[in-house]
């Protein structure tokens, strides 16, 4: 009996101190197969991305794409732009160190085709499409040095993060070596990492206070140990983008005499006229959604939340209002969804299992939404955040679900087919547990595997 089996999983003595909210429904019959606290508000962690993406698909459409425009501001005379280059962003999260060479070299070619080989002024990063507040509401300050808490801008490069590689010195007691890629972050990296004995454990920390460019890397790394990597956020994404662009244009034969600057630091009006030189268009939302959901990329979710705001400067607050307006006709009210950011990193986010199931069921019924949304979800035992879960079970290759995790929080919500082929939708949320997170994940997996072997 399904009810009895799931009850047995959740009433394990090891789980008694935590809180659970579970709802399972049939997508075919519409009936409820199991419910435990389905209307209780719970911290969802990254399952908030389920809400954000569903609303974005509804409001923007799967073909939506971001554009980034390069303008020449000033007169052009004998190969010289007497003025500035201005790059105007709309939030594209997908320009990275890996694909920027092709994009920026293409822009260099467009500049040369427009008769520009020398720029007397600056590269100005215009991020005014988004509000200046780059951080999510309620984000913990000690998360901010990490790449998963990178700030959001209308101009974004390399997911607003750099990689710090730590290499042990020749012998114990020596200073470790550091390198940062890609360059241009503006971070003032302070290295206090020591080389430990060969039999010690690697222990590295990254600390940066909000608003500070000072990044302190500390701890130790054993002698002879392989290089270790930390992924850390940058302080000013707009300036990071502008610096990367300036460096690439110079490398491709366009001489730029002025610095890279954030438009917020520009106090003189750039020269007129302004001519559009080139436009880069991002992949469509259907493609961006795969990175967002498969690996749970917070920056993509926060970008979408602001993008949903109806006009510039686009704010998270107005984006949240658009999400609420999108899901309200589906049956999700303010009593079952309290959203403060797009990704679920905030501990002020709350959602019910009933709301998640309602959203997922609506997406399944709507042919406009279903295909790309389901394709973006991790597949049990195969990829994304489910790649190592439920392998060798009836759920492997069957269950598709979004996961969520932070301290004291685990969640999994999505779809699975029963043994008889009946499509089911489920949401499982656990909060306030003190046991090892692996025990909570094992309980979630046991429920999903049981659904995959269920028949009636």
Q: List strands edge to edge, sheet with 161-167.
A: 177-181, 161-167, 228-233
Closest CA to 252 of 389, 145, 109: 109
Tokens of 258: 């002025």
* Phi-psi region at 268: left, alpha or beta (left = phi > 0; alpha = psi -120 to 50): beta
Closest CA to 216 of 226, 204, 208, 224: 208
φ, ψ (nearest 5 deg) of residue 136? -75, 150
Q: Are 415 and 450 in contact (CB under 8 A)?
A: no
Cα 247 from chain centroid (whole Å): 26
The active-site residue out of 90, 282, 296, 417 is 296
Pairing state between β 67-77 and 350-351: unpaired
**Rounded Cα gap, residues 146 and 150, in angstroms:** 7
- Is 90 labeled as catalytic in the residue annotation? no
The active-site residue out of 46, 233, 343, 376 is 46
- Is 296 labeled as catalytic in the residue annotation? yes
Alpha-carbon torsion 388, 439, 54, 363, what sign?
A: positive
* Residues forming a β-bridge with 194: 175, 220
**Rounded Cα gap, residues 185 and 453, in angstroms:** 51
Tokens of 388: 């190592």
Closest CA to 453 of 396, 368, 411, 389: 396
Cα 114 from chain centroid (whole Å): 36
Residue 24: CA count within 13 A, CB half-sphere: 22
* Phi-psi region at 122: left, alpha or beta (left = phi > 0; alpha = psi -120 to 50): beta
- Is 49 labeled as catalytic in the residue annotation? yes
Q: Which residues are catalytic?
A: 46, 49, 296
């Amino acid at each position: 009996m399904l009810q009895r089996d799931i009850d047995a999983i959740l009433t394990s003595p090891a789980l008694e101190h935590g809180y659970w909210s579970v709802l399972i429904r049939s997508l075919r019959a519409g009936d409820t197969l199991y419910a435990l606290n389905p209307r209780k508000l719970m911290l969802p962690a990254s399952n908030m991305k389920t809400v954000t993406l569903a609303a974005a698909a509804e409001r923007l459409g799967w073909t939506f794409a971001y554009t980034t425009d390069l303008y020449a501001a000033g007169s052009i005379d004998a190969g010289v732009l007497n003025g500035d280059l201005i790059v105007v962003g709309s939030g594209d999260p997908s320009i990275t160190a890996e694909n920027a060479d092709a994009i920026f070299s293409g822009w260099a070619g467009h500049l040369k085709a427009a008769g520009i080989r020398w720029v007397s002024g600056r590269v100005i990063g215009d991020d005014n499409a988004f509000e200046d507040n780059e951080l999510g509401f309620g984000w913990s300050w000690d998360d901010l040095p990490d790449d998963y808490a990178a700030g959001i801008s209308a101009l974004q490069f390399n997911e607003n993060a750099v990689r710090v590689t730590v290499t042990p010195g020749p012998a114990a007691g020596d200073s470790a070596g550091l390198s940062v890629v890609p360059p241009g972050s503006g971070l003032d990296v302070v290295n206090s990492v020591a080389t430990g004995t060969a039999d010690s454990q690697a222990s590295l920390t990254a600390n940066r206070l909000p608003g500070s460019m000072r990044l302190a890397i500390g701890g130790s790394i054993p002698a002879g140990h392989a290089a270790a990597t930390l992924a850390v956020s940058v302080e000013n994404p707009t300036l990071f983008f502008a610096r990367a662009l300036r460096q690439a244009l110079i490398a491709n034969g366009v001489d730029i005499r002025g610095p890279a600057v954030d438009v917020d630091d520009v106090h003189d009006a750039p020269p007129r006229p302004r001519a559009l030189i080139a436009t880069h268009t991002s992949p469509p939302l259907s493609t961006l959604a795969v990175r967002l959901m498969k690996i749970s990329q917070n920056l993509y979710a926060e970008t979408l939340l602001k993008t949903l705001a109806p006009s510039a400067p686009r704010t998270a607050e107005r984006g949240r209002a658009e999400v609420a307006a999108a899901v309200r006709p589906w049956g999700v009210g303010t009593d079952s969804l309290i959203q403060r950011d797009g990704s679920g990193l905030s501990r002020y986010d709350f959602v019910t299992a009933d709301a998640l199931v309602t959203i997922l069921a609506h997406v399944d019924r709507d042919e406009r939404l279903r295909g790309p949304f389901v394709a973006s979800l991790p597949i049990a035992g195969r990829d994304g955040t489910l790649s190592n879960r439920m392998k060798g079970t009836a759920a492997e290759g069957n269950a598709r679900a979004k996961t969520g995790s932070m301290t004291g929080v685990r969640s999994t919500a999505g779809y699975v087919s029963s043994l008889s082929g009946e499509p089911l939708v489920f949401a499982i949320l656990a909060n306030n547990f003190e046991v090892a997170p692996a025990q909570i994940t094992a309980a979630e997996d046991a429920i999903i595997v049981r659904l995959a072997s269920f028949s009636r």
